[in-house]
Amino acid sequence: MDVERASDQIDILIERRHLRANTEQQNIEDLWKASTRRERDKRRRENAAAWYGHHEHMRELHSSLHRLYGWWGAGASTSWGGGGRR
């Protein structure tokens, strides 16, 4: 009977250790997923801000060119070589 009881206690110990290891592994995976999600979201915000900055710069550039050279007009050549109004 003592051998059976000892065997049962060992089984319980092994099961608890297995559950604890699985829980720790799940916690590690959850932390990794959260970290990855934060990094991805940060990168997306940075890229969105960079694209916004690029488009804002291009808007300002086009606005400046329009003020300096005027609108090229319909049918006019849009190359910098000429053909537009000055």
How far is residue 27's CA from residue 19's CA, in Å, rounded to a whole number? 12
- The pLDDT of residue 75 is 47
What is the pLDDT, as a whole number, of residue 74? 47
pLDDT score for 3: 83
Q: What is the pLDDT of residue 79?
A: 56
The rounded mean pLDDT for the chain is 84
- Contact present, 85 and 73 (Cβ < 8 Å): yes
pTM for the whole structure: 0.53
pLDDT at 72: 58
First to last CA, the chain: 106
For residue 49, which amino acid is it? A
Alpha carbon distance 6, 48 (integer Å): 62
> Which regions of the chain are under pLDDT 70?
1, 71-86
* pLDDT given for residue 71 in this prediction: 65
Element (H, E) at 83: none
